[in-house]
Structure 1
Amino acid sequence: MMPATEPPITCLVLEDDLLMRDLVGSFVEQVPALQLIGLHEQPLAAFEQLARQPADLLISDIEMPGLNGLELVRALRQPPLVIFMTSHQKYAAQSYEVDAVDYLLKPLAFDRFLRAIDKARQLLQHRRAARLINEPSPAPWPPSTPGSSSQEDYFFIRTEMQFVKLRYDEVAYIEAMRDFSKVFLEDGTVHITLVNLKNIESQLPAPLFVRTHRSFLVNASKIEVITNQDVKLLKVAVPLSQTYRDEVTERVVQNRLITRRSG
């Protein structure tokens, strides 16, 4: 899962149920890329350890007595990457608000756990690459041609040590992951770029992309269904928050809605 030249992913587990805590601990110990540095029952104990000993990854239950997993992450000044695990789907939207890497439903399956760990591994690789590069602020992205009022139909992103050319019409949506972003293409390809979502949104053509959630920017032309909770495109459901619902509906539907005319 992880090249031997890379440092291990330091990991802390928080779970108040003994059997589940032992299970997750055993999962962690089976993955060579992970280094378990804490196995906690109480949220405050986990908080104190993370305050004095930063970790790369926190794997945490959500519903616990006193401080729950979401509140714990919000309380940390520099939270690690987080994978939540819970028996309830109702916390999914809140997990996006704290930029969770993944959201696992109990009972946990080891193969699903491995997929979540692989997501965290990729994000840590890019974060470490960003620190190593230590480059100045990137130039305007995508670049524009001086004196030209029209946008090209493509742009470039930087992923680790290379530049990747993408066409606007092949981008399905973009997801915020703290200080970088994941670009999902129509063909299923995913690119991670060292640019946050706010900067991407400000430099992409506004008519083509619409914000559906604080963590998601969607290609408006790909949206097929709009509900109260999400937008659906390419068989994927992307969260739609109340803040952006009216704007998304107006931008996407516009004057294309077929209505029953009176008279």
Structure 2
Amino acid sequence: MPSRTAPFTCLVLDDDLLVRDLAGSFVERIPSLVLAGAYDDALLAFERLAREPVDILITDIELPQLNGLELVRALRQPPQVIFMTSHPEYALPTYELDAVDFLVKPLRFDRFLRAIDKALLLLRARAAEAAPVLPSAGSPPEPTDEPDTFFIRTEFQFLKLRFAEVAYVEAMRDFVKVHLLDGTVHITLVNLKHMEEQLPPALFVRTHRSFLVNTSHIDAVTNQEVRIGKVEVPLGSTFREAVLAQVVQQRLLSRHPSRRA
């Protein structure tokens, strides 16, 4: 991964000339991006990425000789990857590769821009984690004994958050995105497993391999999701029983109160 923070380099790979040119033109419209190359051959793109890495790879999936999924698996240090395809059924395997996003053709600039924004958030978070954070001279020490708060490192600072303001935590490769109730999102270089181990287990519950939710903000639980206001967070089948036990059962009104365990 290149060490600089901006502009970020981007490589486009698609064997369809029209799509390749369109994606390249989208990249060139974004001031913080530089188009480092546009390829129609996955093997040539692989050689280029192995020799000269880029920050973001935007690649088709169905390619001759080596498809986009195989290309990413073959790279020792993949960049942030955005897949594009005409086949929505490829969404699951791209998710398993921790892709930043999955674009369904035909490409739209607004949707493309949203995918790029996700990639830039991750790249800037990585740059912030690599930079030292020094305390201000003469500043008093921050109290650390508040039981309802915790710190994360993000955007070149140590940021204090309250447990109560966290809606849910979302995994993204080695990072997590901490989603607050007011819609703010903070990214920090802690994986979800370690985040779960350090947050209060009475307050946070795993609903999915990629999501950790604040139980106090759950408004509804279905077979496939939990809802926090208008936000729908996936509920995996392997986590459903634990979620129901922690969130619902102790507060579920019964037709026969005397029979409750």
In the alignment, what sits opposite 1:51?
Answer: 50
Moved more, 179-188 or 45-54: 45-54
CA contact (8 A) 1:97 1:214 kept: no
Q: Which amino acid aligns with 1:173?
A: Y
The equivalences for 1:96-115 within 5 A come to 96-115=95-114
Q: Does the C-alpha gap of structure 1 residues 105 and 228 become closer, same or farther in structure 2, counting only changes over 3 Å?
A: farther
Deviations 1:104-153 (A, max 9, x none): 23222212222222222222122122223299xxxxxxx975xxxxx812
Aligned to 2:54, what secondary structure does the other structure show? coil
In the alignment, what sits opposite 2:84?
Answer: 85
The question of 1:192 aligning with 2:187 is answered: yes
Moved more, 156-165 or 236-245: 236-245
Q: Does the C-alpha gap of structure 1 residues 81 and 259 become closer, same or farther in structure 2, counting only changes over 3 Å?
A: same
- Length, aligned pairs only: 246
Aligned to 1:181, what secondary structure does the other structure show? strand
CA contact (8 A) 2:204 2:214 kept: yes
Aligned to 2:10, what secondary structure does the other structure show? strand
Deviations 1:13-71 (A, max 9, x none): 12233221111011112223222223222333322322222111111223445544333
Paired with 1:191 and 1:176, the residues of 2 have a C-alpha distance of 12
TM-score where L is the length of structure 1: 0.80
Q: Does the C-alpha gap of structure 1 residues 21 and 228 become closer, same or farther in structure 2, counting only changes over 3 Å?
A: farther
Paired with 1:245 and 1:204, the residues of 2 have a C-alpha distance of 20
In our comparison, the structure showing a higher alpha carbon Rg is: 2
Name structure 2 gaps, 5 residues minimum: 135-142, 257-261
Q: Does the C-alpha gap of structure 1 residues 152 and 198 become closer, same or farther in structure 2, counting only changes over 3 Å?
A: same
CA contact (8 A) 2:5 2:123 kept: no
Q: Which amino acid aligns with 1:36?
A: L
Q: Which amino acid aligns with 2:131?
A: L
CA contact (8 A) 2:87 2:104 kept: yes
Identity percentage of aligned residues: 65
Tell me by how many angstroms 1:93 deviates.
4.1
Paired with 1:47 and 1:231, the residues of 2 have a C-alpha distance of 40
CA contact (8 A) 2:11 2:56 kept: yes
Aligned to 1:116, what secondary structure does the other structure show? helix
The question of 1:175 aligning with 2:174 is answered: no
In the alignment, what sits opposite 2:120?
Answer: 121
Paired with 2:43 and 2:80, the residues of 1 have a C-alpha distance of 18
Tell me by how many angstroms 1:245 deviates.
3.3
In the alignment, what sits opposite 2:208?
Answer: 213
CA contact (8 A) 2:133 2:157 kept: no
Tell me by how many angstroms 1:88 deviates.
4.1
Paired with 1:208 and 1:89, the residues of 2 have a C-alpha distance of 36
Paired with 1:213 and 1:164, the residues of 2 have a C-alpha distance of 26
CA contact (8 A) 1:99 1:176 kept: no
CA contact (8 A) 2:91 2:102 kept: yes
Name structure 1 gaps, 5 residues minimum: 136-142, 146-150
Tell me by how many angstroms 1:185 deviates.
0.5
In the alignment, what sits opposite 1:148?
Answer: none
Paired with 1:73 and 1:121, the residues of 2 have a C-alpha distance of 19
Moved more, 116-125 or 179-188: 116-125
Q: Which amino acid aligns with 1:121?
A: L
In the alignment, what sits opposite 2:75?
Answer: 76
Aligned to 2:131, what secondary structure does the other structure show? helix
Q: Which amino acid aligns with 1:17?
A: D
CA contact (8 A) 1:83 1:104 kept: yes
Aligned to 2:78, what secondary structure does the other structure show? coil
Deviations 1:74-127 (A, max 9, x none): 332211111222334444444333222223232222122222222222221221
TM-score where L is the length of structure 2: 0.80
